[in-house]
Amino acid sequence: MRRLTFLAGAALLIAASPPGRSPEQVAEAALRAAPVWDGHNDVPEQIRERRKDMIADFDFRDTSASTDPANQRLAMHTDLTRLRRGHVGAQFWSVWVSALLPEPQAVQATLEQIDVIKRLIARYPADMQLATSSAEIARAMHSGKIASLIGMEGGHSIGASLGVLRQMYALGARYMTITHFKNTAWADSATDAPAHNGLTDFGRDVVREMQRLGMLVDLSHVSEKTMLDALDVAKAPVMFSHSGARAINGHSRNVPDSVLDRVKTNGGIVMVVTLPSYVSEEARNWSARLAAEKARLDAIHTGNPGAAMAGMVTWTMANPPPRATVAQVADHIDHIVKRIGVDHVGIGGDFDGMASVTQGMEDVSKYPALFAELARRGYSQADLEKIASGNMLRVLRGAEAYAAAHRGDPPIESATAF
């Protein structure tokens, strides 16, 4: 009798329990509780290149028709409507300028990029709010606005001057990527021939001064040796604003396991990118074959660029590029989580900074698809909330705590990098 009574009670409990949630429902609940904090978006670059920084008649509520055929530009990946659909609650806007610019011009261009993103934020006060601290981010997200932060992409943006670095921080920049695709005079890039064996002494001072200020040190785009040198110096958490795992895709822009281990010790974060050639090993290899074929055709058709171009069209039609997938983006997250834990991973899409996109993640509205994929793989709602924004919030708070503890330290005075 007691066994029958127990079984009957258990059946009642099961009947009263809510049914299991689908992966999409788990993802939706996670993103409502903790909206996405994306590490890298290049809208300011698009405004400069498409509109010469003029936004008086620019409608950021809908950019889906913002094509630029004359310059072979497709529609933008980002607007307010799609940010809302993608549950984006905080965004680092990249104030990238070309590393090919002479550094004095790069400094000016960076200031202009900061100006245009601030003007854009000010035009949409019901939807966007400039944020320069973790407290401001929390308030913006609580009020339903997109917390908008500024990140500088490339150390050329400070013209080898710690004074300029400090002024960029005063203007609101809250991270700086140490290099872009080229070396600076004080740091090696992942995609340039090594010149300094990592960081120079001045480069180490840049990292120290950034952390004294509370500016996040971003190690996307830098060489493996630069990553390790920066981690040797760093006393506060660092970030990778838009990178993948090199164990999944061997591109030099991705993070090797030896560095992932150091990121865990440091308390930092790797924000996983969606750019196809960093996501998919097949896409990376295709890009290498494309470059090799272009070099071959240019050599064969020296002085006849039309024939070389026609050859490239024929080759591309016969060898269409493979598509990166949402599952492959999730593979990078899986690897980082298995290697160093769920507390050290986030999302850094690189939208509006890519010529091609991952299938299923074509724009900023598609983040729920990635989180549903992760839920299908067994990630809990609590895990997804950490990946969406909780981990990045912890990292920024760590940088702020270090800066607060060193508020009395004098600014570093250093000779230039040259």
CB 234 within 8 A of CB 266: yes
187 Cβ neighbours under 8 A, 6+ residues apart: 155, 178, 179, 196, 198, 199, 200, 203, 206, 222, 226
Q: Is position 87 annotated as part of the catalytic site? A: no
Catalytic residue among 28, 38, 40, 363: 40
Indicate if 344 belongs to the active site: no
Cα gap 33→55, rounded to integer Å: 33
Active-site residue, from 77, 87, 196, 242: 242
Alpha-carbon distances, residue 137 vs 59, 91, 132 (angstroms): 24, 10, 8
> What SS3 string covers 253-294?
CCECHHHHHHHHHHCCEEEECCCHHHHCHHHHHHHHHHHHHH
Q: Are residues 114 and 171 in contact, defined by beta-carbon separation less than 8 angstroms?
A: yes
Told to judge if 224 belongs to the known catalytic residues of this protein, a careful annotator would answer no
CA quadruple 151, 155, 159, 160: dihedral, nearest 10: 130
List 180, 196, 251, 332, catalytic entry:
180
Residues present in the chain in total? 418
Q: Is 350 a known active-site residue? A: yes
Determine the Cα–Cα distance for residues 195 and 140; give it in Å rounded to an integer: 43
Active-site residue, selected from the candidate residues 42, 79, 103, 209: 42
Single out the catalytic residue among 28, 38, 45, 153.
153
In 3D space, the residue among 128, 100, 108, 125 whose CA is nearest the CA of residue 43 turns out to be 128
Catalytic option among 350, 363, 373, 383: 350
Query: How far is Cα 192 from Cα 273, in angstroms, rounded to an integer?
Result: 20
153 assigned to active site: yes
Q: How far apart are alpha carbons 28 and 371 in whole angstroms?
A: 8
Q: What is the Cα–Cα distance from 95 to 89, expressed in whole angstroms? A: 19
Write down the catalytic residue from 77, 87, 156, 221: 221
The CA–CA distances, whole Å, from 388 to 32, 206, 276 equal 10, 29, 20
User: Is 221 part of the annotated catalytic residue set?
Assistant: yes
SS (H, E, C) 377-417: CCCCHHHHHHHHHHHHHHHHHHHHHHHHHCCCCCCCCCCCC
Structural contact between residues 192 and 182, judged by C-beta atoms closer than 8 angstroms: yes
CA-derived radius of gyration, the chain: 23
Catalytic positions, written as ranges: 40, 42, 153, 180, 221, 242, 350
